[in-house]
Each structure stands twice: as C-alpha cells, then as structure tokens.
Structure 1
Amino acid sequence: MRTEVIIIGAGPAGLMLGRLLELAGVDAIILERKSPDYVLGRIRAGVLEQGSMDLMDRAGVGARMHAEGLIHHGVELSFDGDRQRLDFTDLIGRHVMVYGQTEVTRDLMAARKAQTIYDAENVELHDFDTNPHVTYTKDGVTHRIDCRFIAGCDGFHGVSRQSVPQSALTTFERVYPFGWLGILVDKPPVADELIYAHHARGFALCSQRSPTRSRYYVQVPTDEKVEAWSDDRFWDELRARLNPETAEALQTGSSIEKSIAPLRSFVAEPLRFGCLFLAGDAAHIVPPTGAKGLNLAMSDVAVLADALIEAVSEKSEAGINAYSAKVLDRIWKAERFSWWMTSLLHTFPDAGAFGRRIQRADFDYLASSRIAQQSLAENYTGLPS
C-alpha cells in the first residue's frame, strides 16, 4: 500500500490534518492504535480560540460547533475571594468558545471519508530520512504503507517522537509539583463564564461543557489518589477556595467522571526530521491553565497541512522547510502564557510568604491596568498564527 501522507494518531490534531489534506485532494491514511470508542471516550478540555473556530469552518465541520458551542466574552479571576472579570470583547474585540474536545473529535470523525485504520498495533516508523514507510499489525497480520511524508500526531507518549534519535532532539521540560483533580457533573455551571481562583488552599477552576454539564477542578499534590476523594470532600474543598457568593450558588451532585491530571510544560525541538513532522502533544505540552493545548495542536496542523499541500500539489518545499521554526515561535509564546497563568494562580510548596505576596501584587496590577488585561486577553483568545 502507498499514500502521500501517513498520519499517526486519530485525535483532533491527526483528524484535522487528515480532513484538510482530504479537502485539498492529498491522499492520507490515519493510523490509530486505539478504537474509535476509546478515542471518543477521552475527557479533555474544550476552550476554542478564534483561530480554532475558523479552522473548524475551513474543514467544513463547524455547523454543530456554532449551534451548540457556548460563546464566552470573558473570564473571571479571583484571588482570596477578590474578583476581577476580564471582558475580552471590550478589551480586544475577540472571544472564545466552550466546545468540548470530544465534540471536535466527533465532528471530524463523522466528516472523514478517507481511510482511518483503528486498532493498529505495533506501529513503527522506518527510514524517514530516505525511504519513509510505516509498519503496523492488525488482527495478527503485519502491514506496510509507503509514503512521502509522516505526520506524528500521536501525543506525548506516542511512537512518533520516540522514533527520533535522541541525538537529533532537544527537549525542554518543567514538571509542576501538583496536579488537577477534576470532576464532571450533570449540573448547570455556577457561572456563565470560567472562574479561575487562587486561594491559600490551592487553585480552583469552575468550567463547563454545556448549559447542563459542569467541569470543576482543584489543585492537589502530585502524589494524591483519586480514591481518597469522595464527591462530598471535593465539593467541600471547592467551596472553600471560591468567593463566598460563588460557593453559595454552586449546585453539587454525583460525579460522572473523576480523575487527576499532572501538570507539565514540555517542548521538543526541532519538529521536522527528514520526512517526519511532529505536531500537537507529540511536540509540546502546556499546563491547562491557559487553555492552550488543543488550540496549539490546531495551529500546528493548520500550518503543516498548508506545507504538505504545497509540497505535494505545487512541488515546493518552502512550507515544509519553514514548518518547524514557524510553529515553534507560536508554541513558545503559548508556553510562556500558560506558565505565567499557572504561576499566578497556583500555590507552590516552596514559594513562602514572599512568593504569595508577589502573586498578590501580580493580581492587583492586572486588576488595575487595562494594558495588562489586554495582554492577558490577547494571549487567552489566541495570538496570530
């Protein structure tokens, strides 16, 4: 079997890349080691920047997003109960949309007409400097696909980045000393917009998936166990970290999903190795505080799609030659913003009294400066590609 592009991973990055190539008439096969149900069962965030919304429209899959997505014109920040709303529309004339990553994936799956091979085991990338091809096993039979290009969209733990020789790769990482304990509950959100709260007890986030489904998080130590947290304990802790008025309005219920996500910042450089290109979580991880993970992945594959279309259709390598440097410039800016948001809103074990006062000064400056608010709004809603 032969194709122009093999895409490793059928998450939103791989599916979006496949869709854009399909619309441009570029043959591409997607390989995914899990089943479709497993991929759709992954609970992920879903705050879309304007660029991601535009890309969904470009891919022809934006109708349900526009019908069901929740437009947010701002967010609320809180520090020890003191509240500050940032009106993105007023500050910079842009907004974001809450639309779950699962729904983005579902829309892209439904639109895809080209081949996606699920339950592909033992995926291996070969000779991506000279004669690129991929082998995999399905139903006990080993298969080979030859190609011109390979796109690694298979996440942080995927085979794509692991296939790159360590000598060719430079990685940058910061692992944070805490995680997010999150629950999903079928109750109306406590507020119309997201609430980011800093408290001496730790960070909290009030988010949502729909007008009737809410997502809440509290900061916990990295060694915390989900089993130690009953629903009642979670709700008590969340209330303690919120402004009293918000805590009083909170509607609680039985969780339908509960998990702990560690936080890290990670970047790999470069992102091109011969005919292999890394995109999405295979290339970078951001802490979720700045709502950048999915949006960075969408930005990566938008650039990569244009570059591959140019290489296949116009026989020009200008786009693929520029890919790594172009997306890394945006990646590092998003990493900076996500690190800053994380540093402002979380409690750090070694920060001490001085560190908390610096955080308070940062919050007070943000609350008093329109320019600082515009900077946050610009970054949160998405920097230009």
Structure 2
Amino acid sequence: MRVLCLVDGPVIPPDRWMWNHLPEEAQQDEVDFLWASPADRFKNWGKFLSYYPQYINLGWRAWKACQKRHYDVIVAWEAKTGFPLGALRSLAGVHSPPFVIFCFSFRGIATSFPQISSWVMRGVHHITVVSPEEIEFYSRILHIPRSHITFCQFGWHDLCQNAEPLAHNNFIFAFGRSYRDYQTFLEAVDGLPIEVIVNTRRFAIRGLKVPANVHINEMMPEKEYARLLVSAKFVVTPLLDTPHAAGESSIVQIMAAGKAIVATRTHSTSYYVEDGITGILVPPKEPRAMREACLYLLSHPEECKAMGAAARRRYEEQFTSEHTARCQYAVLQKMVMMQAES
C-alpha cells in the first residue's frame, strides 16, 4: 500500500520509522514522510510562538501532498501532528483516503475547545490509544465511536542498549516534562540520604523549591541521558492524575533499561507498571507515600534489582517497538480493506 506519514521529527532513508520494525511483507509498502521539528521551549499558550505553527504548516503540506499523489492511507503520530490536517479535511468534507492518528492523546490547548476538537475528528477515521481506559474517555468527550478506537500498547526501542554506565551510580533519577508533578516529587525526596538527578525543562519546575540534594539538568542529548538512566539506583516518574495517558513513554524506557520504577498511580501507569513486581505505584499528590516508596527501594537493594529485572522481562514480552508496530500496522490494513470494500 501507499502511505503518507506525518511525524514530529526527521525520517531520513534508510530509516523507515515504524516500518523498521515490521515483517518482510510490509517492506513492499511505498511510504512518504512529512515532518515538523518544533522547538518545545514554552508551555501552555506560549506554544503558539514556535510550536503549534510548525504543525499547522505540516498539515497544509500534507493537504497539498494528497492533491498531487494518491495514497491508500494517511498516518499521523499523535494528535498534535494530525489535528491540522483533520481540520482541513473536515472543512472540505474530504473522507478519502482513510486517516489514522497513532498514539492519540487529547491534551494541551485543544482541551479548551472540545466542540471544535470533536468537529476536527470528523476528518479522522480511526485513532489508537496507549491505555485501555482512554477508549471510553475519548468516545465520551470527542464523540468518537468506540469501534473507531483501538488500544495499542506503547512500545519503544531500547535507548540504553549501548549506553556505558557512569562510574558514579549512587543516585535516583527522574526525567520528563509533560504532566509531571515535580512539586510532589521534590517534597518527597527532600533530605533523602542520596543524590537526586532530574532531567526536565526549566518551566516544569519554575517556582518550586529545589532541595539541596537535587540536581536539575536541562533536557540533554540522548547518549548522556541514556547513561544516567542505566546508572541510577531506580527511577521515579511523578505524574499529575489526568484522564488521558501520560508518562508511558518514560516508563517503557525505564523498563527497557532494567530499572525499578516508582510512579504515580494513574490510568496508564496502572497498566504499564505491575505494582510490587516491576515497581511501586503511589497515590497522586502524596509526597509521603512517594518518599516511603523511595526509602523502601533504597533499603532493599536486592528487591530493587529484582524489580528492575522483572521490568526488563516485561518490556521484552510486551513493549518493544515490534509489538507496537504490529498492532498499529494491523489498524492500517483494516482501514485500507474497509475503504476498498466501501
């Protein structure tokens, strides 16, 4: 089949994005890529300065590409990449070829305009989500039929496969910027008898008191980040409790690195983290519970290592790029087949 893919970063041959992880028969597909490369330097409405314009431009380029060439299906990675094209298709009343958004998440500025977002989704045939609970949520909020939503677990390649551990490994690590509850986290680790390293954007911790044992890095190159991840005692993912998935990409990376996880219990983390087996889940907004979980892992190093090993096994069994690619590709095949039969 002939596919147009809209992604949020460069895909340069011989890289074929999802197709890198698919069986031989899928390699016959003709796949074109268009991408945006926005600078994520601001939050909330500040994203209109340098972030959202990139995706609006991507939607327009995709629209023009579809006028010049026939595609059997269009794919967008996440809602931010697909919304502009969905709006153009809804405005023009265009419903062919099928349009699918992978790893859909309704968040950010779009949540301020649910009726407009629901209208935009008329230009989209199908979405995949990364937690089972989101099917009901998006069906209710955006009026998407449940049959148009597929759960595909989030998978990712092993970023730490060739990472060289640091000589210094006596620290707890946390990272990420979106929907992080660093206020609870910083309260939880304040005064712990161990160094804490955090990789995030400065805006994610603006106005928060940073304890003396906490070191804040800006987001860093993947190679340096991977070395921190494989060297940490364990990793904490503090999250806000949202109705949509959040933090799953971080958790999958932690699992791949073979590290025990302390995470906020949310809709998505309850699926990805096996509480007491691959990590410890704690209630939202409870720094005391998060602190107790950290102290438990520090005082039980062998159990901490066992949780990390279990996390790695779970990653290999369910959350590799190959697992996710197969699920998503099955959705594309179904859309193309349904279009041919209609």
Q: TM-score, normalised by structure 2?
A: 0.35
Q: Which has the higher strand share?
A: 1
Higher relative contact order (CA 8 A, sep 6+): 1
Q: Which has the higher helix share?
A: 2
